Amino acid sequence: MTTSESSQSSAAAPLLDLQALVVAVRRRRRLWCSMALLGLLVGAAVAVLLPSPPTAVTKVLVAHQEDQPNDPGTLIRTDVALLETTRIADKALKSLDSAEKPEDFMQDYGAIGLTNNLLQITVTGDSDAEAVTRAKALADAFVADHVKRIRAAADAESKALLDQRDRMRDDLAKVNKAIGNGSPESGPTASSDLESLFARRAELTSRITDFGQRAAEARIGTPQLIAGTQIVDAPRAVRHFLPRAAATNAAVGLVLGLVLGLAVAAVGTVVADRPVLRREIAVNLGASVITELPLRSGRLWQRRRIRAARERLTASLARTVRGSAEPVSLLELGCARSTSVIALDLARTLAADGPVVIIDGLPGPQLAKRRLKPGDPTVVSGERAASVPHQERRVGVGSVAPGTAWTDLQYLGTQTVLVVRAGHGSAAWLHTVARQLADQRIVVIGVVLIDPDPRDRTDGTLWDGLDTALRARSEWQARQNGTGRRRRTERQPMWAAGVRDSDQEAR
């Protein structure tokens, strides 16, 4: 792959791969399932350990002078805001003869508008009886305040109308006086002035009558509003059912925990940048995925299929080792146990052709201190690799985890099969592994993917790397035999350009 092709492919790659994100989050289901379960338990525990205080509820029908059928609820929201004021709270406390501060009392009650004219008031207390008493006092205080405001508004409107009527009566008296003092002289001018005074008197008389009627109507509507504002549902204690409260809180905690767990898993996946798809792992390592194996033995009905996959992998690796003049190694990343099992199966298969020695370069006691069965191949540690006779076939097993001594990997084998656990290493570390193996002249002939996602449908094949897949070994060897051994430095690894190394450098 040329530099221009790699730049074009990197430019075409999306900033966030949703498929990889979904797969990575699904693989971390233990995290978000645990958080969801924790939220469920916390919600149920809160309902048991912190029960709801005694609560009383009442409903008040509120009549408004400005009621309209298309009112969006502005008036009832205003009533809710007025209820939650120190004036109403102080009146309720005075009726209860309580020394509690209105500000503190306001923390113990609340209200919501059920409809445009129906207000529900909820009050808490130390006991059910106290909560009912406080709810009744609060509702009475609100009704009294609302009635007082209605009367004040009606009185103000009526007074304004009557004052306007009185001013017009004064104007009428002036007009009547002007008519009585009119000049007895006759003439066109005197006649027109007299007619205008009579017209003015008629207009003032009509307006005085109108203002009087409007003032009377303003007072007539007030009793209807006062009568319409009343307590329609007497205060009563709310019965709390612990099982229902626990179930509700548990459901809320479950949802919140699940959402939080999914968010943490998604953010952690993006920040960690750990490839899980076959396509990503193959591209980052520069080698094709030759097979996939689960991390564990699997369920009972899956064991036959898993056993068949292991047998096919062992047979394929055995053919590769038999047809290669150079030693072949298995290098693990995040799956030392699975790699040791594959190495033992491979060595047992090769033991039919002659003596086989497994050189154990793993950091743990997976092979060197393993209790071998009768007939199993010999296992020696990496320090004793020099003492192994050259006529015996070697199978090296090592690790490419952070802290690896890269220069020692050549003694395990100049060709290797990487055994990688999906989602274990970051993309930067996979690039580091590929670059270090290329620097050590170790050819990666394939990748065995451990614990893959069962729903992964991506292609883990590098079609431009014929020398990195087991199925192309024959073509690669034929090309070597026909044209001489090709220098590995002629084809620069595509992972070495434009990718910064991780902070975990080789020792």
Model pLDDT for residues 411-441, shown as the tens digit of each residue: 888 899 999 998 888 889 999 999 999 998 9
Whether residue 495 has pLDDT greater than 60:
no
Q: How confident is the model at residue 14 (pLDDT cuts 50, 70, 90)?
A: low
Q: What is the pLDDT of residue 404?
A: 86
Whether residue 489 has pLDDT greater than 70:
no
DSSP state of 423: T
The residue-averaged pLDDT of 260-278 equals: 87
Query: If one looks up domain 55-239 in CATH, what number appears?
Result: 3.30.1890
What pTM, to 2 d.p., does this model score? 0.59
Tokens of 199: 């017209």
What angle separates helix 29-49 from helix 242-272, to the nearest 10 degrees? 150
Residue pair 397/423 in contact (Cβ under 8 Å)? The answer is: no
The residue-averaged pLDDT of 34-45 equals: 94
Strand, coil or helix: 249: helix
Q: What is the pLDDT of residue 77?
A: 92
Q: What is the pLDDT of residue 372?
A: 64
Q: What is the pLDDT of residue 107?
A: 93
As a whole number, the mean pLDDT across the chain is 80
How many other CB atoms sit within 10 Å of the CB of residue 393?
Answer: 19
Residue-wise pLDDT for 442-483, tens only, equals 999 899 999 888 888 887 777 655 444 444 444 445 445 544
The torsion angles phi and psi of 55, rounded to 5 degrees, stand at -130, 145
Q: How confident is the model at residue 153 (pLDDT cuts 50, 70, 90)?
A: confident
Cα distance between residue 279 and residue 177, in whole Å = 107
Residue pair 318/343 in contact (Cβ under 8 Å)? The answer is: no
Residue pair 51/245 in contact (Cβ under 8 Å)? The answer is: yes
Least confident of 111-125, 168-182, 333-347: 168-182
Cα distance between residue 283 and residue 278, in whole Å = 9
How many other CB atoms sit within 10 Å of the CB of residue 275?
Answer: 24
Report percent pLDDT > 90 for the chain. Answer: 28
Instruction: Map out the domains of the chain as residue ranges.
Output: 18-51+243-270, 55-239, 273-496
Q: What is the pLDDT of residue 298?
A: 62
Whether residue 249 has pLDDT greater than 80:
yes
Residue-wise pLDDT for 280-326, tens only, equals 898 889 888 988 888 777 666 677 888 888 889 889 889 888 888 88
The residue-averaged pLDDT of 169-187 equals: 72
Q: How confident is the model at residue 83 (pLDDT cuts 50, 70, 90)?
A: very high
Q: How confident is the model at residue 374 (pLDDT cuts 50, 70, 90)?
A: low
Residue with more model confidence, 419 or 355 = 419
Residue whose tokens read 């996979």 = 430
**Secondary structure of the chain: what % helix, strand, coil (to 5)?**
55, 15, 30
Q: What is the pLDDT of residue 228?
A: 83
Query: If one looks up domain 273-496 in CATH, what number appears?
Result: 3.40.50
